[in-house]
Amino acid sequence: MMDLSEITAKKIWLAPLAGITDKSFRTICKNCGADVVVSEMVSADGLLLRPEASLKYARFTEEQRPFGIQLFGSDSEIIVKALEVVENLKPDFLDFNMGCPVKKVIKKGAGSALMKDPAKAVLIIRKIREHLSDAIPLSVKIRSGWDIFSVNAIEFALKLEEAGADIIIFHARTRSQMYSGKSNWKLIAELKSRLSIPLIGNGDVRSPEDAIELFETTGCDSIMIGRGAIGRPWIFQEIKDYLSYGSYRELEQRKKFEIIAEHCRLASSEKTEEQALKEMRTHFAYYTKGLKGGSRIRDYIFRNPDLEENLNKVKQLYYG
Ligand SMILES: Cc1cc2nc3c(=O)[nH]c(=O)nc-3n(C[C@H](O)[C@H](O)[C@H](O)COP(=O)(O)O)c2cc1C
């Protein structure tokens, strides 16, 4: 197995974000300084039933290493079968999702529903560890618990550690909270003090100052950033500078636009024209958020079916 510190010693991870952190966005974040990136969630059932549709979420490029594939599912036999497909892609680690709050996933007993069934969660992790190559580390991404009345992250994570997990990733909100309220960093600190394996803290890092605070107040080994990177992938470089030199400078607008243009170029080369147009509309909305004149440009972009013209509209804001 790789030396775990390569992915856990004071590293900055890009969170898995379904619909956002595809191959092109991951490359952009990696170029901006993200140390570790993870696929969007990939269905274990899907990998067996409709491999081509699911594999597109799991594939990555060599430059994205160290790279983790995130699996979700609830049937340990299906999950074990899916491991073979995953291993063929040679990821640097496997991440298992026990945090997804979405109804469609919960209904099948997967994602955060597993936090209500620790025995099943333990069985899944045991089975994965038993069948997964020893060379591949296994992380598990969890939440605080199902709801405020059943916060069980500490006991749950300790059980997963015993079952063979190598790393815990902790988004300290309950399933019921979805994305409201705050990630409970005190609980991250408590878990860190109890766990022997590395812990990745997650939730609500929106600035380099937040990043340092999450490290310092919880003692977590690494941190993971999701929404804070959408529309501003350069946050990774800012955080790295802040950690290394104690200060950081906001990137010049023109440099930011170069990153956006590269994102657009990558999306165009990897997707159909229609897909690239649609997905870049979402990203452009984030890239223009908070900029003067942004809402007018967003109206234009959501009507105009030409990606190049849309990119030029965004350019006007960044060069204005
Ligand atoms: C649009 C969106 C998609 C997400 N998709 C996933 C996913 O596929 N797998 C996962 O484990 N978490 C997923 N999450 C949760 C994030 O990985 C992360 O735990 C959460 O957003 C908290 O971190 P943040 O405050 O830095 O965004 C998603 C979150 C959002 C907002």
Cα–ligand 1 centroid distance for 54 (angstroms): 18
Q: Is 227 in the pocket of ligand 1 (CB under 6 A)?
A: yes
For the Cβ of 99 lying below 6 angstroms from any atom of ligand 1, the answer is: yes
CA 223/CA 202 separation, integer angstroms: 6
Report which protein residue has its CA nearest ligand 1's atom 19.
171
For 54-66, what is each residue's pLDDT tens digit? 999 999 999 999 9
CB of 201 closer than 6 A to ligand 1?
A: no
Pocket lining: 202 vs ligand 1, CB cutoff 6 Å: yes
Given the CA of residue 230, which atom of ligand 1 is nearest to it? Answer: 27
The pair of structure tokens assigned to 182 is: 């705050």
What is the sign of the dihedral through the CA atoms of 296, 299, 301 and 304?
negative
Same domain, yes or no: 160 and 300: no
At 204-255, the pLDDT tens digits run 999 999 999 999 999 999 999 999 999 999 999 999 999 999 999 999 999 9
- Ligand 1 centre to CA of 20 (Å) is 10
CATH number of the domain that residue 184 is part of: 3.20.20.70
Ligand 1 centroid, distance to 309 Cα (angstroms): 31
Closest protein CA for atom 18 of ligand 1: 226
Q: Is residue 204 in contact with ligand 1, taking CB distance under 6 Å?
A: yes
- Is the pTM here over 0.85, yes or no? yes
Residue 20, ligand 1, Cβ within 6 A: yes
Is residue 171 domain-shared with residue 280, that is, in the same domain?
Answer: no
Same domain, 221 and 302: no
Task: Measure the CA–CA gap between 19 and 12, rounded to whole angstroms.
Answer: 21
Smallest CA-to-CA distance from 143 within 157, 128, 129 is with 157
Residue after which a domain boundary falls, among 196, 229, 245: 245
Q: What is the pLDDT of residues 91-108, one digit of tens each?
A: 999 999 999 999 999 999
> Looking at the structure, do residues 241 and 261 belong to the same domain, yes or no?
no
pLDDT at residue 305, rounded to an integer: 98
- The verdict on the CB of residue 165 being under 6 Å from ligand 1 is no
Distance (angstroms) between ligand 1 centre and the Cα of 150 equals 21
Measured CA to CA, the distance from residue 162 to residue 244 in angstroms comes to 35
Query: What average pLDDT does the chain have?
Result: 98
- pLDDT tens figures, 107-163: 999 999 999 999 999 999 999 999 999 999 999 999 999 999 999 999 999 999 999
Atom index in ligand 1 nearest the CA of residue 173 equals 22
User: Is the beta carbon of 41 within 6 A of some atom in ligand 1?
Assistant: yes
- Kindly state whether residues 291 and 238 are assigned to the same domain: no
Residue 289: domain span: 253-319
Final residue of a domain: which of 191, 218, 245?
245
Considering the candidates 29, 32, 100, 220, report the single residue annotated as catalytic.
100
My answer on whether 128 and 13 are in the same domain is yes
Identify whether 32 is a catalytic site residue: no
Whether residue 286 sits in one domain with residue 154: no
Strands (E), the chain: 12-14, 36-43, 67-72, 93-98, 138-142, 167-171, 199-202, 222-225
Name the residue of 13, 17, 114 whose CB sits within 8 Å of the most ligand 1 atoms, as the mutation to test its pocket.
Answer: 17
